[in-house]
Chains A and B, each alone.
Chain A
Amino acid sequence: MSGSKRSDSALTMRPPPMTAESGLIISTSFSVSGFGKRWTHCHQLANYLARYASANENDPERTSTLLSTFFNELIEAIYRNHARRGLIQITFERRHDKVCVKAEVPVDEESRRFYERTVELAQHPELMRWYRERLEREISEEDAGALGIVELTVVYGAQIAIEHIQRTDVEGSRSLHLWVEFPFAELDEV
């Protein structure tokens, strides 16, 4: 097998050491229109942010591979579901053994419904059963769209919540806040 791997992030990138166990890691803000131009933005952003958020961990590579997997699903969902205009803002915070992500996403009716439904699904009392049924049969397009985020909860134990923001900008588009709390302690011991 040819195992050629390209660097997907700067190997030596190290932010200043984080002294506190909790606190802001990084905050980003970008326009929907630029972000929405290329699918690769999702994975590039996910890898960059994950690498940055992991730089002070004991094993930054391992943590960032895991976080990139998490962030990517969230960012892919945002890529597919947002209003035509506005700013996306994502803030990453460390709270002890969790990474908390707050994403502000400009939404229209359709994308707002998507997030509401997804978060509702993620809180399904029998989520594992629901999830397995989706794998056992052909999945509807609607469920498939939600699955990336739902998996974060059902497979990796993330917590998800939503908050509507009353503020509307000049053009009348609205935003909502999506909160995701990712665990990143030893998820994967065998």
Chain B
Amino acid sequence: MSVSVVPDSHVPPSSSSDGASWRSSVSFNIRVSEQEQQVSFTGMLRPFVAEHMKAIRSTLETAARNATGELQLDFKRLKYMNSVAFLEINRFIRWVVGVRPGLKIVLIISSVIPWAIRKFQVIAEIYPNVSVVVYDKSLYPIQQVIEDEDFINVLRTQEKIVWEVERKIISRHGLRPGMRVADIACGLGDFVLRVQKEFNPEYIIGVDHSRAFLRHAQSHAKSLGIENIEYQYGDAAALLLPDDSFDFVTCRLALQVFHMPEQMVQELYRICRPGGRVYITNEMMSCVTGYPDQALIRHGYDRFLELSRMVGMDFDIGVRTMKILKNAGLEEIKGDLIGIDNMNSDRAYFAKVVESWIVSSGDVARSAEADPKVHEHIAAGLRAHVEAILGDGGYASWPIYAGSGRKPVRP
């Protein structure tokens, strides 16, 4: 059971005469989930005096009294906190150590909030029963695999062949010049650059959770002398971007690598303005095919799909695109196929991309400690796909589902 104990508008009344003067500096949500034994903070905590955190303090104390074993304090969406609030949190922890010495306290933070790690680390060092968990440290199971330099080159190639087909359909999903655009999980930022060049947006931002990718994206944009692009280190499941602020929100080939795709789509929805559109593209591995050796190719991709699911990804999420958009509350939903094949794409590039999947699936298989046979089957199937791409008279496809929906305008 989760209850919202102190919603935004119900911050405790001020004891000072000028209530409004501190009120909006404590605009945040606190949520208690008894089942998960967790208290989560969102927003900003900059009170004038500790007194203004009375309600928060008593919520925390109740949670600590009821918790068994462990209490989690989730700060991963607390963007700002002043020293007054920090001292009060510290006071609470000291209190717990006194009254419930056996209770463990876990402080959950995110690397996206740049001040948090150093600050909370001190508390963890002081009290033996307190630990800090950086929740997004290993969010994406194959992060290290894809940040490899060779893989980065492949990603560029992949982006190129996808864009050649995608550019023909994207206008149908509502992308127009002069828009405010956000590309979430932007990777190396090539899509952002293309949109900047071809659609001249009013404003464009790319967000990703890979520092290595962002460094590439930033230096690439700089080397081209492009200044009107903003790149941001962020977590797609907890974006720092404000509500209702973009005309066109994109998330390409990324829901599939995330174990909480619905949460990611909720965030896309939140930052999209009413009347704007959310556009997503997704892998649909169950539909990849080729000729000859169709059975071998299919078998390889079926194993690859299973492997992806073992590590919390879903490389067939594309087939659910319409449902995901609808469940998120979007309307006027449109779907398209980005049908990459060895006739409409550069064969050598296409082959290079599939070859790289042989390597990356191997890394994933190792990290998942999968039976070595699994990767042998994947490799055999994908090699047959490469031959189908390059061979005379061969046919090979790589379908990607593109879908979009409009955020309703409520009266």
- Chain A positions within 8 Å of B, measured between CB atoms, are 1-8, 11-12, 17, 37-40, 42-43, 58-62, 65-66, 68-69, 72-73, 76, 131-132, 135-136, 138-139, 144, 147-148, 151, 155-156, 187-190
Contacts and interface: CB of A to CB of B under 8 A. Distances in A.
8 contacts: A3-B42, A3-B238, A6-B242, A7-B245, A8-B242, A144-B84, A147-B87, A151-B119
Contacts of B270: 3-4
Contacts of B241: 5, 11
A62 B233 contact: yes
A69 to B, nearest CB: 4
Contact of B114 (A3, A38, A187): A187
A33 to B, nearest CB: 14
Interface in B224-252: 227, 230-234, 238, 240-243, 245
B118 A190 contact: no
Given A60-B230, A62-B232, A1 B42 contact: yes
Contacts of A156: 115, 118
Contact of B232 (A59, A139, A148): A59
Contacts of B83: 73, 76, 147-148, 151
Given A59-B232, A135-B123, A190-B111, A69 B80 contact: yes
A69 B211 CA distance: 22
Nearest to B127: A136
Nearest to A184: B114
Nearest to B231: A59
Contact of A135 (B29, B113, B126, B230): B126
Given A7-B245, A135-B126, A148-B83, 9 more contacts: A2-B4, A38-B20, A40-B21, A59-B231, A65-B80, A132-B126, A151-B86, A188-B117, A190-B137
Contacts of A131: 122
Interface stretch (B43-51, B281-289, B323-331, B365-373): B43-51
A3 B77 contact: yes
B122 A132 contact: yes
A43 B21 contact: no
B24 interface: yes
A144 B79 CA distance: 22
Nearest to A17: B227
Interface in B103-148: 111-119, 122-123, 125-126, 134, 137
A155 B233 contact: no
Contacts of A38: 18, 20-21
B214 interface: yes
B interface bracket (residues with beta carbon within 8 Å of A): 35 or more
Given A5-B240, A144-B87, A72 B82 contact: yes
B230 to A, nearest CB: 6
B99 to A, nearest CB: 15
Given A4-B270, A7-B242, A68 B80 contact: yes
Contacts of A40: 20-25
Nearest to B83: A148
Given A135-B122, A135-B123, A61 B87 contact: no
A187 B233 CA distance: 14
Contacts of B77: 1, 3
A135 B80 CA distance: 20
B90 interface: yes
A135 B90 CA distance: 7
B218 to A, nearest CB: 5
Nearest to A134: B87
Q: Which 7 A-B pairs have the closest CB atoms?
A: A7-B242, A148-B83, A66-B114, A39-B21, A69-B115, A39-B22, A188-B114
A131 B232 CA distance: 33
Nearest to B79: A65
Contacts of B233: 59, 61-62
B40 A43 contact: no
Contacts of A187: 114, 118
B108 to A, nearest CB: 12
A73 B46 CA distance: 10
A38 B18 CA distance: 8
B176 interface: no
A6 B408 CA distance: 19
B46 A72 contact: yes
A76 B82 contact: yes
A3 B21 contact: no
A188 B134 CA distance: 12
A43 to B, nearest CB: 5
Which of B24, B25, B232 is the most central at the interface, judged by chain A CB atoms within 10 Å of its CB? B25
B38 to A, nearest CB: 10
A60 B83 CA distance: 23
B31 interface: yes
B35 to A, nearest CB: 14
B267 interface: yes
Contacts of B377: none
